[in-house]
Structure 1
């Protein structure tokens, strides 16, 4: 009884009147009891006579049924050779290439079934059009012949067969090229390429792809090219069978890595100078250099200054999209409270104190929760130009609803960056992007200490290009001692990483650069599936601040003054929130959209005025969704004099409103939803405020002059979510 079918396609090289032989007889290895299926592939011209033959010694051949069929099925009992004799009416008879079939009754093997979607697409582009991979599924929608699929498999020394489980439209023929090559030098393996055609049968089929023999253990790269896009193809699985000899046992099954994203690499800094330990540092400075575009792929984070409760650094987020990021974590995971349906204790959350011009600020989740602030532009930073970072900790306190004293200890965490010095910037960088730029200040509760050390990491946050190399240099790392008022050089560090276990990714490096141009710099590298250089801990020569005049001459007072200014702005907003008008008598009069389903108990327009910061309105996104503009009208019960509005939002930039107007009126009538020209016609409203709002989770918008009215209208024309019409607002207040 056969255990499985093994199909070999592409015996024939020519159906014309000439014969093209392979330089080497291809080999196929199957297990005892497997059924062998040999397939000529392609379309057979009318009048062609086909006779299958087999031999044990390449000299004596005997026929194998059936006759005149392009497909032969056979159950081998011993190793044999197979070929096909082709006869056409106007041509002499000739033979196809011969395939050698080995039987594995005397071998031991380990097999693996792998998701075909655990592959990379080359050349890498941020769009998946033309070929789609799914890390936990299949490879599908292969319509672009210029895109190829690549798998990296960890394989021990031995012999291997690779089969695909695929489905191709019945009678559609695809031409493929499969190439197997070593992922890095030193594996002593020459690349092997196989060209073949496959004709679909309209259902799942097992197709042999390539056989290889590897002399050494390591990662091997399999590249599949589709020369045409005939039919609809789904490649669901890779079947890899490895066979060992007694002196080369296979103990680890061939497999892809657990993580297709490249390893995360970390540096942990300290100083060899005496008396520099402890939580004594109120300022930290560092520079980061991404050397060139070849090691700067999309979905990379070069984290610079890591601190207790957060980090900052630079990111490559997409085509024409780079960021400088500064994030601070809550003391609790707010997502957990949302999952269990409990109100989150607000006293344990971070809060934005203030932010710089053109800085986006919002809450984040999914990896803990907290607040993030960033500047985003195509020219935020440039490869080859170092980015300077400065971080400050200031001890403070704040009101606390759960503390006996009514106060809680906090720290004010502030950050700045300098991507371009005025005299050293690429052509075309505007003046406003040069020099030191303030990012933001965040208040983190229940902490009241300075920083001890700092750390950096290099991360790939998108698995689809985890095969690409990313690299960064980290240097001039200094910490300012708040007690002694001195700068100390962090000249020592040790590294760590994810992955690295047997059979997992080892393509990472950290240490002191050996490049002559960057010999005084720590560096990290990740990706490429290479056999990389490893170090554990490393020390640079210790410097005094006199040896780094740039930082010695950097005046800290303007930076400290900006934190003072931020605290003033925070207090102004607090005073406004304490003076907002009572909304208990307010009613919702009109809404153009609301998420009545899909948001649990949230989503309703009335929740914008319920006085609770943890409930929210959401525009309709189910049942066809909704489009801009979104319009909401509220009745304040009586005429009131207004000086401005305060918004509390959540959901991040993708849910923040952008272009809005605040209208006022003393009359309103008509339906509460649907068609209502009183609500939608701008001529019925007097604009009190109009323009783009901050990309932030809370802010106030003062009116140019006070207005008196009973009805207030919010009209939302766009959001910060790149055309996404979904908007989320927790609370609207007026003062």
Structure 2
């Protein structure tokens, strides 16, 4: 699920978001210390398009937040936030590159417990000084912007957020113009790469996932059983739909499945009841299957993947899913991958957000009780993993990613602009359970031809 793109490094970034928190703004202190005759130090320009969210309405976020900035802003109810990360505290000088539509518009800007109401009269983009605010805690902070009055249909357009002052002198973080706004707004993806027993041919990989209450955020992919040629896990696709997803990449590398030669296409061998199967593209290409299933936060779900060499230089991969609500193993799908002769390898799990409109909300999953089964009929428990992350994290575009061990389970967490941070390439060890999965492999659902 991780698309490889080119990123550009920058040593510091900042995330900003405009927000409209009416109660917070009205209850905060008004900024009366700023004199318009004093010149602010505004040396850092943050593109609002890559760093802002409408936090109370994801549908509005899809309309207002564009690559070029904040546009089509009509409602006083919209809560727009811009998050930023500072390494120090102190004064924050703040300005906006902004314009109104037809005449004066009034906005309210809040940082911490200080608010300032500003009237915008220019109808072409100008740099407007907002004022001086206080950053009292290093790490992620946010700016809130609320529309109060407008003359035309739109409140205004915001191109950049301008900052400076002592709070920024030790470094700030944001998604710059030469970084992918799409991936910056999605947030960092994090992975667990499992340590396998040496010298064993592995035919089954078993894993369990529990998503804590309120961590099942739209756009989340809790991937359980990743392997060298594909992935298997569960997603939150919308308010009304969740899926169990199993995919296998074609050996022919392309983002367009229509270009795959016939002899390198993934072949569907069979699928379970209620499973949809087809092709996918855009992030590599191959065969994909999914079952719409309303899995619940707080419940533990079990994943079992089988992989073994087959005839004519190919390998068959089969995915099984166990839900406590149904109390039995279900077949998701079985795929044949040509030009591949291998047992299962490169086991991993990941947590990613595939919806940029929810990249401001944190999500977390626990990954527990990993086991593999070799060709001699022996189970081996996996208790060690390395924590890694994608380029959004590695290039410091987003700093809100974390992983580790809780009890006898691994966990991963990302997005939401929290301040705890785990060093990439950290190695973890969980306590072994010592309880072999109670699965009668001989009575698993049989693969029926499509």
Is residue 309–residue 329 contact of structure 1 (8 Å, CA) maintained in 2? yes
Task: Check 1:443–1:284 CA distance in 2 against 1; reply closer, same or farther (3 A cut).
Answer: same
- Deviation, structure 1 residue 254: 6.0
Is residue 322–residue 376 contact of structure 1 (8 Å, CA) maintained in 2? yes
Any stretches of 5+ residues in structure 1 without a counterpart? Answer: 1-21, 28-98, 182-190, 398-407, 426-432, 514-518, 571-735
State the distance in 2 between where 1:249 and 1:129 align: 27
Which is greater in Rg? 1
- Map of 2:26 onto structure 1: none
Q: Deviations over 1:378-397 (max 9, x none)?
A: x2x11111111111113211
The DSSP-based 3-state class of the residue aligned with 2:263 is helix
The DSSP-based 3-state class of the residue aligned with 2:60 is coil
Task: Check 1:110–1:277 CA distance in 2 against 1; reply closer, same or farther (3 A cut).
Answer: same
- Map of 1:371 onto structure 2: 287
| 1:255 aligned to which of 158, 171, 174 | 174
| 2:386 aligned to which of 491, 494, 497 | 494
- Map of 2:9 onto structure 1: none
Task: Check 1:307–1:199 CA distance in 2 against 1; reply closer, same or farther (3 A cut).
Answer: closer
Is residue 97–residue 162 contact of structure 2 (8 Å, CA) maintained in 1? no
- Deviation, structure 1 residue 436: 1.7
Q: Does 1:396 align with 2:310?
A: yes
Task: Check 1:266–1:149 CA distance in 2 against 1; reply closer, same or farther (3 A cut).
Answer: same
Q: Deviations over 1:65-105 (max 9, x none)?
A: xxxxxxxxxxxxxxxxxxxxxxxxxxxxxxxxxx364357x
- Map of 1:280 onto structure 2: 201
Task: Check 1:116–1:562 CA distance in 2 against 1; reply closer, same or farther (3 A cut).
Answer: closer
| 1:164 aligned to which of 96, 116, 134 | 96
- Deviation, structure 1 residue 333: 2.4
Map of 1:406-445 to 2, 5 A cutoff? 408-420=312-324, 425=325, 433-445=326-338
Task: Check 1:143–1:476 CA distance in 2 against 1; reply closer, same or farther (3 A cut).
Answer: same
- Deviation, structure 1 residue 243: 3.8
State the distance in 1 between where 2:70 and 2:231 align: 36
State the distance in 2 between where 1:249 and 1:171 align: 33
State the distance in 2 between where 1:330 and 1:300 align: 24
- Deviation, structure 1 residue 236: 3.3
- Map of 2:355 onto structure 1: 462
Task: Check 1:524–1:117 CA distance in 2 against 1; reply closer, same or farther (3 A cut).
Answer: closer
- Deviation, structure 1 residue 144: 2.8
| 1:361 aligned to which of 277, 291, 302 | 277
- Map of 1:538 onto structure 2: 428
| 1:146 aligned to which of 77, 84, 87 | 77
- Deviation, structure 1 residue 371: 0.8
- Map of 1:504 onto structure 2: 397
Task: Check 1:344–1:497 CA distance in 2 against 1; reply closer, same or farther (3 A cut).
Answer: closer
Q: Deviations over 1:324-372 (max 9, x none)?
A: 000000001244696xxxx642111211111111101110001000011
Any stretches of 5+ residues in structure 2 without a counterpart? Answer: 1-28
State the distance in 2 between where 1:288 and 1:151 align: 32
Q: Compute the TM-score of the two structures, normalised by the length of structure 1.
A: 0.52
- Deviation, structure 1 residue 249: 8.2
Aligned residues: 411
| Aligned residues: CA RMSD | 2.8
- Map of 1:236 onto structure 2: 158
Q: Deviations over 1:479-520 (max 9, x none)?
A: 0011x211110111111113445753221111101xxxxx11
The DSSP-based 3-state class of the residue aligned with 1:296 is coil
